[in-house]
Amino acid sequence: MAKKAAAGSIYRPTYRRPDGTVVPQQVWWIKYYRSGLPVRESAKTASWDEAQRLLKRRQGEVVTGRFLGTGPERIRLSELVAAVEDDYREKQRRTLADMKAKVKNHILPALGHVRAAELGTAHLRRYIAARRSEDASNASINRELAIISRAYHLGLKTDPPVVTRMPSIERLPEDNVREGFLDHGGYRRLLSEMPPYLRPLFVVAYHTGVRRGELRQLRLEQVAWEAGEIHVSRRTTKNKDAHTLPIYGDMRAWLEMAKAERDMKHPECPWLFFDDSGRQIGSFRKAWASACKRANVPGLLFHDLRRSAAINMDRAGIPRRVIMEITGHKTEAMFLRYRIVSSRDLRDAATRMENWMNQPDTGKVTGKVSGLEDDLTGSCKPS
């Protein structure tokens, strides 16, 4: 049985039973034309109205040139996120393992079976609710939603595209701005409690705000002793930009002690920072936490040294573009994220307000009402 529609039709295929009886199937199919050739597609529904809506949508896609065939309708989210893994591997992203864990443990079990063309806000709301029931933070959920969003962007960029639409994926509000700060007194206490092999690394991190991963990969050959500089290679930076660190304050003494120890005990070691065995420094989370507890700065993260360095340099009057060059930030957004307000700007604002507030009091307030200048002296004029 078939029902005609403009430039197409809706029908139910039939099948023959063993007894020879011909019976129509329950699911409707649609037939439409592209470039004069017929295209047949299952509407996947027993409702004629829904099949008619699909037919009209397909006809509209053909007319507007947005029809990509029926292939994209069959793509599931599991296939899309697989492309994200390939993209991470191709670009040598250091977060590949973390991304794969998010996909395997959370995204695929909940949404892997969903057709990419059908994913909508209802699916995402259920996913968010389920992750919150597992005590996942908004930041963690947002990182997972970002993977899904990236999957769709890659699907749209392929030739030909494997998806026809980009679903609306809104991010959740985050309040994960770090406010940890280590003052100079805390720096001295923590330095005395730090294991000896970590002290040079800690001193450089506190003075420059460079990321832990970048510091761990520094080699001795990257130090220009006469110029008083450390050259950070673009291969080891998060944003793939090389930058230069000045050697100042306590840095030179501790770096020279580290070099002397290296020359004496581990002459084959290529690393600027090394452990007691002469190997590249690995994870030191437990040693860090213990030292922070003894120094009475519990809860301090190594990454808080990054914020501390930026604040100290700003207070010292160093221009923001120079601070960004040292810390390796690409935009001034980090000043907003770290909530850094220049003390010079605050002092200037206080001076301006104080001067304004100390103006002679004339006892008169001038206002502009309906385009007329009226002097109000504290009493109302009779009407």
Q: Which of 196-200, 211-215, 241-245 has the lowest mean pLDDT?
A: 241-245
Range of the domain at 122: 77-157
Say yes or no to pLDDT of 374 above 60: no
Q: Is 39 in the same domain as 133?
A: no
More confident residue, 345 or 233: 233
Instruction: Report the distance separating Cα 199 and Cα 287, nearest Å.
Output: 12
Final residue before a domain boundary, out of 14, 35, 67: 67
HSE (CB half, 13 Å, CA atoms) of 226?
0
134-153: pLDDT as tens digits = 999 998 999 999 999 999 99
CATH of the domain at 96: 1.10.150.130
Give the model's pLDDT for residue 368.
Answer: 52
Give the model's pLDDT for residue 143.
Answer: 94
Q: Is 332 in the same domain as 192?
A: yes
In this structure, what token pair is assigned to residue 245? Answer: 């660190």
Q: Is 188 in the same domain as 333?
A: yes
pTM over 0.85: no
Say yes or no to pLDDT of 46 above 60: yes
Q: Is 59 in the same domain as 110?
A: no
Q: Are 328 and 238 in contact (CB under 8 A)?
A: yes
Give the model's pLDDT for residue 383.
Answer: 45
When pLDDT is averaged across residues 74-102 and rounded to a whole number, the result is: 88
Give the model's pLDDT for residue 116.
Answer: 87
Q: Is 255 in the same domain as 197?
A: yes
Domain membership flag for residue 342? no
Contacts of residue 293, defined as CB under 8 A and 6 or more positions apart, other chains included, come to: none
Instruction: Report the distance separating Cα 383 and Cα 380, nearest Å.
Output: 9
Domain membership flag for residue 207? yes
Give the model's pLDDT for residue 66.
Answer: 66
HSE (CB half, 13 Å, CA atoms) of 129?
6
Domain membership flag for residue 192? yes
In this structure, what token pair is assigned to residue 70? Answer: 């029926």
Instruction: Report the distance separating Cα 8 and Cα 3, nearest Å.
Output: 9
- Which residue type is seen at 237? T
Query: Domain count of the chain?
Result: 3
Q: Is 217 in the same domain as 274?
A: yes
Say yes or no to pLDDT of 185 above 90: yes
Q: Is 320 in the same domain as 249?
A: yes
How is the beta sheet containing 223-224 ordered, strand by strand?
Answer: 223-224, 229-232, 243-246
Domain membership flag for residue 162? no
Q: Which of 12-16, 262-266, 274-278 has the lowest mean pLDDT?
A: 12-16
Q: Is 33 in the same domain as 135?
A: no
Contacts of residue 104, defined as CB under 8 A and 6 or more positions apart, other chains included, come to: none
Q: Which residues pair with 41 in a beta bridge?
A: 30
Final residue before a domain boundary, out of 16, 36, 67: 67
Domain membership flag for residue 227? yes
| Residue 344 pLDDT class (50, 70, 90 cuts) | low
Give the model's pLDDT for residue 241.
Answer: 78
Q: Is 84 in the same domain as 132?
A: yes
Q: Is 148 in the same domain as 262?
A: no
Please tell me whether the peptide bond between 109 and the residue prior to it is cis, using omega within 30 degrees of 0. no
CATH of the domain at 297: 1.10.443.10
Domain membership flag for residue 343? no
Q: Is 18 in the same domain as 48?
A: yes
Domain membership flag for residue 100? yes
Q: Is 188 in the same domain as 330?
A: yes
Give the model's pLDDT for residue 14.
Answer: 85
Handedness of CA 261, 266, 268, 272 (dihedral sign): negative
Domain membership flag for residue 123? yes
Residues 277/280/286/291 CA torsion (nearest 10 deg):
80
When pLDDT is averaged across residues 52-81 and rounded to a whole number, the result is: 77
Final residue before a domain boundary, out of 26, 46, 67: 67
Say yes or no to pLDDT of 6 above 60: no
